Amino acid sequence: MTQYDVIIIGTGAGGGTLAYHLAPSGKRILLLERGDYVRREKDNWSSRAVNVEAKYHTKEVWHDKDGKPLHPHTNYYVGGNTKFYGAALFRLRKEDFGEIRHHGGVSPAWPISYGELEPYYTKAEYLYQVHGERGVDPTDPWASAPYRFPAVQHEPRIQQLHDDLSANGLRPFHVPLGIMLDESDPQKSRCIRCETCDGFPCLIHAKSDAQVICVDPALAHPNVTLVTNARVTRLLTSPSGREITGVAVQRNGAEEIFSSDIVVSSCGAINSAALLLRSANDRHPQGLANRSGVVGRHYMGHVNSVLLAISKSLNATVFQKTLGVNDFYFGDEEFKYPMGHISFVGKLDAVALSAGAPAIVPGMTLDIMAKHSLDFWLTSEDLPDPDNRVTLDRDGTIVLAYKPNNDEGHKRLIAKLEHLLQHLDMRPHLIPRNLFVGNRIPLAGVAHQNGTVRFGRDPNTSALDANCKTHDVENLYVVDGSFFPSSGAVNPALTIMANAIRVGDHILERLGASARVAEGAAV
């Protein structure tokens, strides 16, 4: 049996990025991924296949706290959920790393500062080819380098909205995006700027996802091996419980055991917690590395809504996700608590609307609604509640218990946007006022899952130390969305990627590998 230096379980934003960073070191690295490659096929870009049939979602069924079946909107593939993400790659705000008082409670501080993560944000942005513009978003934290590529330009309807918002005193900005678009040379541009990006895999591999950017290049190194369709079921420890000695995998109907000096769980926040809980043994009766009892707890997923603003003006936008508004992120004169972030989802069509089943505007078909709607995405921070948690039921099925919290700020954010749009120059309107159709993202919408294996300095209140190594097991790390002690209100993926590079540096040092070799060839 090959003894590896590092086994990484999961190939998404956390695991894929980590593998890429470690690959040039020459260390023997094994990637275990429960899914396969996303098959390249026309359905990649079919609204029906993606939005109505949920073709690419896992068919795994979880339960909610009442035992009702939950069909999670999550994807098990090489590249993880980044295959499907909207590639809006934000840094958390500098203040998000400190304690922040919200209307619904306190968002706790992180054990590291923004300054400590900043160099890794810069590396992650470079690696994932983020297109953006610094200094326009009023809440943007400082950065040590400009973006590698210019911001993706707005199409006319969104530019008009930008101008209207600016005229009303707001500071809209270009959303930082990881798509390989070269607007100066459309013929040569890998990305063709299409309408099936957010939520869809990119058929032509022009989205900066973890497979294209990290896993495939990592596999060009002879020391890196990927095993797909390999679901890790348990982690085995030595009799003392201090080290992982084996990684148990279900593949082709049989169990295989792999082993390595260092093991990294990068299964995503819900599955990493579930894996630790499933790996309970005599030394770890509450679940592996769970002396603190926090594993699985403090699940967060943001308070998210999609809000359709429907006016008479046609919205012929193809790629809509270019504009963001953070003026209310930390609150305003009327409401002193954080409200959150406003941006867009990909342009919705009638097929997508039929799947989301929004309230239908009387006298309008879904097709007309879709042609006239601006499809906003609103995100607010939910707070870490120990009772919002991942557990397992008797047969090992994931149970997700979640009670929404801190939603006053979110309601205010929706009201702010509605108020603004009513007063913007968006005439002539189809109806006297803009019409708003809102949909809160349900529990199954676990896209922004985080927080279940939090890092911290105190082993009594966290499962991971500041390097994302478990306090209780010497050779076990968790590198995915699990480590967040609080979630801010911007999309999480860039923070997961940046942290993976940061932890990667620590692992390289621990392995005595030359960080310089790794860095020269990687990021």
Ligand X SMILES: Cc1cc2nc3c(=O)[nH]c(=O)nc-3n(C[C@H](O)[C@H](O)[C@H](O)COP(=O)(O)OP(=O)(O)OC[C@H]3O[C@@H](n4cnc5c(N)ncnc54)[C@H](O)[C@@H]3O)c2cc1C
Report the interface residues with ligand SF4, using CB under 6 A.
179, 191-194, 196-197, 200, 202, 204, 206-207, 319
- Closest approach, Cβ 496 to ligand X, in A, equals 5
Cβ proximity to ligand X, 10 vs 111, nearer residue = 10
Question: Which string of x and - marks every residue 101-140 that binds ligand X (by CB under 6 A)?
Answer: ----------------------------------------
Token pair listed for 69: 């079946």
From the DSSP assignment, how many helices (H) and strands (E) are in the chain? 12, 19
- Tell me how far apart the alpha carbons of residues 27 and 40 are, in angstroms, rounded to a whole number: 31
- Tell me how far apart the alpha carbons of residues 119 and 498 are, in angstroms, rounded to a whole number: 8
- Closest approach, Cβ 451 to ligand SF4, in A, equals 28
- Closest approach, Cβ 353 to ligand SF4, in A, equals 20
- Tell me how far apart the alpha carbons of residues 467 and 501 are, in angstroms, rounded to a whole number: 11
Exactly one of 181, 492, 501, 508 binds ligand X (CB under 6 A); that residue is 492
**Residue 122 binding result from ligand X, ligand SF4, none, given CB thresholds of 5 to 8 Å by partner type:** none
What is the footprint of ligand X within residues 263-302 (CB under 6 A)?
266-269, 271, 275
Q: Which of 279, 272, 255, 300 is nearest to 102 (CA)?
A: 300
- Closest approach, Cβ 387 to ligand SF4, in A, equals 38
What is the footprint of ligand X within residues 231-250 (CB under 6 A)?
231-232
DSSP state of 470: B
Q: With contacts defined by CB under 6 A, name the span among 21-29, 37-45, 86-94, 300-308 that binds ligand X.
A: 86-94
Cβ proximity to ligand X, 89 vs 309, nearer residue = 89
Exactly one of 491, 501, 502, 504 binds ligand X (CB under 6 A); that residue is 491
DSSP letters spanning 103-163: TTEEEPPPSS-HHHHHHHHHHHHHHTT-B--TT-STTPPP-SS--SBPPPPPPHHHHHHHH
Q: Using only C-alpha atoms, what is the Rg of the chain?
A: 22
Q: With contacts defined by CB under 6 A, name the span among 30-38, 288-296, 378-386, 387-395 that binds ligand X.
A: 30-38
Q: How many residues bind ligand X (CB under 6 A)?
A: 41
Cβ proximity to ligand SF4, 191 vs 414, nearer residue = 191
Q: Which of 82, 385, 32 is nearest to 231 (CA)?
A: 32
Torsional sign, CA 461, 16, 85, 175: positive
Cβ proximity to ligand X, 14 vs 456, nearer residue = 14
- Write phi, then psi, for 3 (nearest 5 degrees): -95, 120
